[in-house]
Structure 1
Amino acid sequence: SARALRCGTAVGAGTGIALPLLDLTGAVGGAAPWGCLALLLGVACVAADRYFGVTSGWMRDVATAQAVQRRLQALQFDWAAESVREVLGPTEGTAGEAAERCLTVLRRFSEDVTELVRVETADWMGEFRSGGAPVGVQAVVFPGAGRAAETVGGNGRFTVPPHGGARPNMPRQRPPEPR
């Protein structure tokens, strides 16, 4: 449906521009009012796309799927590294420590994907509650557990964080110190 709205916008704009020009040249008489109607159709397609967030939702879906795919590739690489480490022999620790390293790899992957889903769900719920797609770009950072963080806007586009590309420093809450 995003493609249909984009095609409707293109057809409406193209027809809305072409019909008045044809009317000016005399090739088609009385086509100018139909050109205005075609432009109105194009604007209606853009408005529907913006309000319902069809294209932005599709872009967010693609960005999230790509982020999950990158996490899966990192899991496969980390798992292969642990498997090679086991094949070469227990040079680093006991079998229990090797199992703990494998569980840490799986836990990290699970936490990454859970965080991706949580952030995307929260973003979708916020968009749904507001009654339409967000007009401005709101940056969301997906943490990468030791890998570079990816910044994805509320509309699915990769964006630069505010303040010239530097992330603002937010104070962290520390646990109370023991007495």
Structure 2
Amino acid sequence: MMSDKPGKPAPRRERFNPNALRWDGDNLEPSLERLFRFTVGKAESSIRWYDAKSRPKKRWAQTLRVTAILATALGGILPILSQMPLAEKASVLFNPAWASVAIAVAATALGLDRFFGFSSAWMRFMTTQMHIQSKLEAFQYNWMQERAAWGATPPGFEQAQAMIVNCANFAAEVSKLVEDETQAWVSEFQNVLRRLDETGKAQIAATATGAIVAKVDNGANCADGWRLTVAGKSPQHHRGESGVVSDVFPGSYKVTVSGEIDGRPVQAETMVQVPPGGIVEVPLTLA
């Protein structure tokens, strides 16, 4: 364990140089030990990395998931509470609109979890860490078994070659686990970006503005023209038999036309549904 006391330097980790290993008779055993420590150290370093990185992922995943659960539950309870008026004031306890806010909070929490990949990363990190730990323990037991086979005699060249192969195979297995986890992260991130792009395009298409074309068959009879009013839009003055209101978002609108024919006020109105990016013609007759 590193000391926290000032002035006491941390112990320096021995740098491993495979080219410095010597494989002649007297150096076989110490070289194998150095190779073993290096191979185990790399695996343990990967385990520590995944353990350290999984902790904040776990905290965020649990926080966002609990938030989503509580907000969803609150969204289901609020409409019921809104039907329970206070006896003294005869008013509701809660506005039912808060249920929509709670559901939106739950959806946002889940969306953040999916975008940043907290839950999936936590599970990937734990799984990879456990797999590396399992393979490390198997490798260590196998190494001890090989060492026991030496007895009191130093290892021979064939034994040394077999143990070097074991180290190489174990290191390759650890690297493959890390590579698979990284590839899973890349694939997940690409899928998230693709879904976000598709969602963004769908939202743009769903909110594309359209237009309302009012066709007033007796509009020409209004000597001073007629007024076209669409809910949420400024009134427009038109002459003739048609008028257009552009930049209308999708939804239901009340369309009203009014004017004077032979000094008599006339009016017509109707409800229209404007689809995303659609142009709606509205036939009207002033009366």
Q: Normalised by the shorter chain, which TM-score bucket? A: 0.5 to 0.7
**Structure in which a larger fraction of residues adopt strand:** 2
SS in structure 2 of the partner of residue 21 of structure 1 = helix
C-alpha displacement at 1:3, in angstroms? 1.6
Contact 1:19 1:34 in 2 (8 A): yes
- Please point out which of 80, 89, 109 is paired with 2:144: 80
1:31 paired with 2:86, answer no
Q: How far apart, in 1, do the equivalents of 2:188 and 2:74 lie?
A: 33
SS of the residue 2:128 aligns to: helix
- Within a 5 Å distance, the mapping from 1:1-179 to structure 2 comes to 1-26=60-85, 28-87=92-151, 95-132=156-193
Q: Higher relative contact order by CA 8 Å / sep ≥ 6: 1 or 2? A: 1
Does the residue aligned with 2:63 lie in a helix, a strand or coil?
helix
What letter corresponds to residue 110 of structure 1 in structure 2? A
The aligned length equals 131
1:80 Cα deviation after fit:
1.1
What TM-score does the superposition give when structure 2 sets the normalisation length? 0.42
Cα deviation, residue 128, structure 1:
2.7
**Could you give the per-residue CA deviations for residues 65-119 of structure 1, whole angstroms, max 9, x where no partner exists?**
11111111111111111111112768xxx71111112112211110100111122
The alpha-carbon distance between structure 1 residues 70 and 132, as it changes in their structure 2 partners (threshold 3 A), is farther
In structure 2, how many angstroms separate the alpha carbons of the residues matched to 1:39 and 1:68? 40
What is the CA-CA distance between 1:130 and the residue it aligns to? Answer: 3.6
User: How far off is 1:126 after superposition?
Assistant: 2.5
CA gap of 1:122–1:37, structure 2 versus 1, over 3 A, is same
Partner residue in 2 for 1:164: none
Letter of the 1:128 counterpart? F
Task: Report the CA distance between 1:30 and its aligned residue.
Answer: 3.3
CA contact (8 A) 1:5 1:45 kept: yes
Q: Aligned letter for 1:18?
A: I
Deviation at 1:132, TM superposition (A): 4.3
Taking structure 1 as reference, are residues 102 and 24 closer, same or farther at Cα in structure 2, changes over 3 Å only?
same
Letter in 2 for 1:86: W
Q: Quote the Cα distance in structure 2 between the aligned partners of 1:55 and 1:133.
A: 19
Unpaired runs of 5+ residues, structure 2, are 1-59, 87-91, 196-287
Distance 2:153 2:105 in 1: 68
Larger radius of gyration: 2
Distance in 1 of aligned mates of 2:194 and 2:122: 12
Identity within the alignment, %: 28
Give the alignment's Cα RMSD to 1 decimal: 2.3
Q: Is the 8 A contact 2:114 2:192 kept in 1?
A: no
One-letter code aligned to 1:81: Q
Q: Normalising by structure 1, report the TM-score.
A: 0.65
Distance in structure 2 (CA, Å) of the matches to 1:70 and 1:133: 35
